[in-house]
Structure 1
Amino acid sequence: MEPINQFMEELNKRSPRNLLSPEQQLDKMLRSSDYLKAFRQNHPQVERDDLLRSLSAVYTAVKEHYWCGNCPGLSKCPNLVRGHYAELDVQHGQVVSAMVACDKQRAHEEEERTRRLVRSYYVSDETLSASFESLEVDESNQLTVAAAMRFCRELAPGEKQGKGLYLHGPFGVGKSYLMGAIARELSRRGIASLMVYVPDFVREIKESIADNSYVGKLELLKEIPVLILDDIGAESVTPWIRDEVLGVILHQRVNGHLPTLYTSNYSFDELEEHLSISNGNRIENTKAKRIMERIRHYTNAYVIEGENRRKSL
């Protein structure tokens, strides 16, 4: 049997005066191409003349399957359409070809889709690349991880579900990383999310008061299917941030039955105390309770204990 690579090299070396005839090209492809042999086996009705009439399509498919078998990587793909190959088929008695995305191209498209679905403000690349497969699960977090996986499993694309998650515990126990895994899993299921590192986002919002550009920035947080507020309670509280930013966002999300997820170093009670203290020493319990009503009753709370994982990095 003539190796397919020998046939391809021979075609490339021939001058225009010394080209193979169509019959010779087909004979060599039939001898050397496992792909073409399998195609004929799967389509026994295809005659030799059918292949000759579509020789250009046959040659392209054989050549591109050869390159796919010796893939140099997606960025160096030599096929006519990068990341795709010609696939032969029979339609109305004629041999035709269609472009099909290869595994590497599909993986690349999935990665791009994930990036579009998982948006973020001030969240590290490490957190955004998290996955349930890469999580370290032990007694300190196994119940929380199970709850996170259940949340992802039960949230259907296009459907609304008002109840989110509230993860709290000490520094460095993996709360944010787990939220990153949730965001990635949701993206695989076609559900968009936005993960926001609250302290830096609050700082940006304050800076955008002068030109009113904060209004547009808040719209996405109100409407995104799943909002993840990372490290709530670490921000500096002002009445405006609490009532006109956080309060407005949570009010609209509750009314729209859109789940909001949180990480914090504070328990519910501790966060309420934090939100009640504004402008340094002013205590506003009622307004803090109003915010907490929209957190307590629309999340399931889980505490993550354990050692600070960052110390071992």
Structure 2
Amino acid sequence: MEDVGKELNRIIKSRGVDGRYRQMMEEVLADKDVRDFIEDHKEKLSQADIEKSFAKLYEFVQEKKKYLAGDPSMIAPGYEPQLSLNFHFIDVTYVPTDELLRLKREEEIRNRVNSLDMPKDIRKASLRNFESDSGRKEALVAAFEFVDNYEENPKSFNRGLYLVGSFGVGKTYLLGAVAHELAVKGFETTLLHFPTFAGEMKQAISNDKVGPKLDEVKRSPILMIDDIGADSMSAWIRDEVLGVILQHRMQEQLPTFFSSNFNMDQLEKHLSVTQRGDEEPLKAQRIMERIRYLSKEIFVAGENRRNG
């Protein structure tokens, strides 16, 4: 092809078209990206090739304007229009921007954390933002160790953590931070607030959804049970819900985390008394045997950050 500028002017003048169409062509062919593309591919493009590609060239110029202006009405928001050559035909392709790729990655990470009745901000928790003062350093170190060990060998048995401490010291946040760190590395986690989950399980009896809800939780690749022992439990919740979950996870050696205001010995006493006041120490002992098998008890101390 000859000089691009002369050739483009010839295209415009050679068309017996009305003023509006001519104006559109002039706008398209005056675009620097269009002119550069045609110049770079001049050996493969004829005048006829450019003319038959005009609709795509016009689309490119209009969508590029919207892209640069951040106009959400563009054909593919978040994608940058680029020209491409498709066997003597100029086409428009839409390439995802770095920002879109970042947002998609963040969404994929969030979707790997199945949060059941947990605070929304827990999904944004980060181990890097967890303050490691003297009362919380051991827990943070153990959290990093778990993530590293699980990433290295996810098929082996990795004991979870049993985080015990008073209100507001960051137990729930640390669970969320571990879940987020695992999600970044491609692993799925389920976090659930146990008192709320227990209430939902009781309601599930009436619509015959106990089985599916129980299976979803007990089979989770990594499970984090928050606030266990916060409320008194019925014998059914203790034995047929919590007990079933823990038994399955112990048999399958699935990583399981807990947070509680009770240490393990205190939780055992708590579980030994049902809502009706019945004392059943042996059943509580069975539950605790599974918890002790699945997790390592770590104390978390510090000030109540909820009041900060």
TM-score bracket relative to the smaller structure: 0.7 to 0.9
Return closer, same or farther for 1:96/1:154 CA change in 2, 3 Å cut-off: farther
Unaligned runs of 5+ in 2: 1-16
Structure 2 residue aligned with 1:229, among 208, 225, 230?
225
Q: Which residue of 1 aligns with 2:283?
A: 287
Change (3 A) 1:67 1:23: closer
Given that residues 157 and 191 in structure 1 are in contact (C-alpha distance below 8 angstroms), is that contact kept between their aligned partners in structure 2? no
Alignment-derived partner of residue 18 in structure 1: 20
Cross-structure match for 2:247:
251
Looking at structure 1, the residues matched to 60 and 306 of structure 2 have their Cα atoms a distance apart, in angstroms, of: 52
| Distance change (3 Å), C-alpha of 1:225 and 1:48 | same
What is the correspondence of 1:39-188 to structure 2 with a 5 Å cutoff?
A: 49=46, 54-72=53-71, 77-90=72-85, 95-156=90-151, 159-162=154-157, 163-188=159-184
Shift of 1:294: 1.6
Question: Does the 8 A contact of 2:29 with 2:35 survive in 1?
Answer: no
Distance apart, 1:245 and its partner CA = 0.8
The normalised TM-score by structure 2 is 0.79
Which consecutive unaligned segments of at least 5 residues does structure 1 have?
1-14
**2:229 and 2:133 mapped to 1: Cα distance?**
26
Change (3 A) 1:62 1:151: farther
Instruction: Give the counterpart letter for 2:182 in structure 1.
Output: L
State the secondary structure of the residue aligned to 1:140: coil
Letter in 2 for 1:18: R
Shift of 1:293: 1.9
Q: Is the 2:191–2:223 Cα contact (8 Å) retained in structure 1?
A: yes
CA contact (8 A) 2:44 2:88 kept: no
What secondary structure does 1:212 align onto? Answer: coil
Question: Which piece of structure 1 moves more, 290-299 or 151-160?
Answer: 151-160
Q: Distance in 1 between matches of 2:65 and 2:185?
A: 34
Contact map agreement 1:164 1:298 (CA 8 A) in 2? yes
Could you tell me how far 1:300 is from its partner in structure 2? Answer: 2.7
The separation in 2 between residues aligned to 1:58 and 1:155, in whole angstroms, is 51
User: 2:211 matched to which residue of 1?
Assistant: 215
Contact 2:110/2:123 (CA < 8 Å) preserved in 1? no
How many aligned positions are there? Answer: 289
Contact 1:22 1:55 in 2 (8 A): no
SS in 2 for 1:178: helix
Identical amino acids, percent of aligned pairs: 33
Pair 257,66 (structure 1): closer, same or farther in 2 beyond 3 Å? farther
Give the superposition deviation at 1:295.
Answer: 1.5
CA distance in 1, matches of 2:139, 2:43: 58
Q: 1: CA distance between counterparts of 2:43 and 2:171?
A: 60
1:79–1:85 CA contact under 8 A, matched in 2:
no
Q: Quote the Cα distance in structure 1 between the aligned partners of 2:43 and 2:223.
A: 55
Letter matched to residue 155 of structure 1: Y
One-letter identity of the residue aligned with 1:78: S
Q: Could you say which residue in structure 2 is the equivalent of 1:192?
A: 188
| CA-CA distance at 1:79 after TM superposition | 1.7
Distance 1:155 1:63 in 2: 50
Q: Secondary structure at the match of 2:258?
A: strand
**More deviation in 303-312 or 187-196?**
187-196
Q: 2-side partners of 1:104 and 1:58: how far apart?
A: 25
Q: TM-score, normalised by structure 1?
A: 0.78
In the alignment, the residues of structure 2 paired with residue 36 and residue 266 of structure 1 have an alpha-carbon distance, to the nearest angstrom, of 72
After superposition, the Cα gap between the structure-2 partners of 1:97 and 1:284, relative to the gap in structure 1 and judged at 3 Å, is same
Q: Over the residues paired in the alignment, what is the CA RMSD in angstroms?
A: 3.2
Once the 2 structures are TM-superposed, how far is the Cα of residue 196 of structure 1 from its aligned partner?
Answer: 0.9
If you compute each CA radius of gyration, which structure gives the higher value, 1 or 2? Answer: 2
- Rounded Cα–Cα distance in structure 2 between residues aligned with 1:22 and 1:131: 52
Q: Distance in 1 between matches of 2:171 and 2:209?
A: 31
> Relative to structure 2, which stretch is displaced further, 264-273 or 172-181?
264-273
CA spacing shift, 1:143–1:84, aligned 2, 3 Å: same
**Residue deviations 1:62-90 (CA, integer Å, cap 9, x gap):** 44344333324xxxx13212332333334
SS of 1:232 mapped into structure 2: coil
